Amino acid sequence: MRRRRETRRLDRRAFNRPTLRVARDLLGKFIVRRWRGRRFSAMIAETEAYRGPKDRASHAAGGRRTPRVEPLYGEGGTVYVYFVYGMHWLLNFSTAGAGRPEGVLIRGIVTGRGKLVAGPGRVTRYLKIDKGLDGDDVTDSKRIRIEDRGVRVPASRVRKGPRIGVHYAGRYWAARPWRFRIDAAPKPRGGRAKRRKA
């Protein structure tokens, strides 16, 4: 993977784009989380895309609009956190623009020590994410942000496949290759993941 020197925070434009493009481009970006005076960061290694009302695997399938899914209808970069199986919080970011309930689920990250944290429930446990972040704006929140640290993931390192656990959506939608991951995700070079006092 290639790396540039500068670091920048992702802004609204990075999220108000086609959802599949956002899901692919988030690979190699860094989630930075501030929690109780500590700072955590890790590189995004796996994502899944959900494409709104037409996507039967989406929480907004058929135009569903409830208080739970309202963050998906916000501007790109709105944080959407929900609870599953009575035990896991899952982290998503809205995409495509206000009024278009599409989003990207974060399925895997790599810590600064090179450890792959696989599975969306493990991701939120590592980053100390729960419902309290739901509705935050990742483009200006003081609690969570996404940084581009110059890591570029070449197409040869990206694997695509069907989303996990969406069989309820039917064969066609379950088979969409909208899961993206870095093949054999390596130790990030954009900065070591940190747990330190803010």
Annotate 59-104 with DSSP letters as a single string: TTGGG---TTTGGGGSSTTBEEEEEETTTEEEEEEEES-TT--EEE
**How many residues in total does the chain contain?**
198
pLDDT tens track of the chain, all 198 residues?
666 568 999 999 999 999 999 999 999 999 999 999 999 999 999 999 999 999 999 999 999 999 999 999 999 999 999 998 778 999 999 999 999 999 999 999 999 889 999 999 999 999 999 999 999 999 999 999 999 999 999 999 999 999 999 999 999 999 999 999 999 755 555 544 444 443
84/109 Cα distance (integer angstroms)? 19
pTM: 0.88
What's residue 184's pLDDT?
73
Domains of the chain: 2-182 (3.10.300.10)
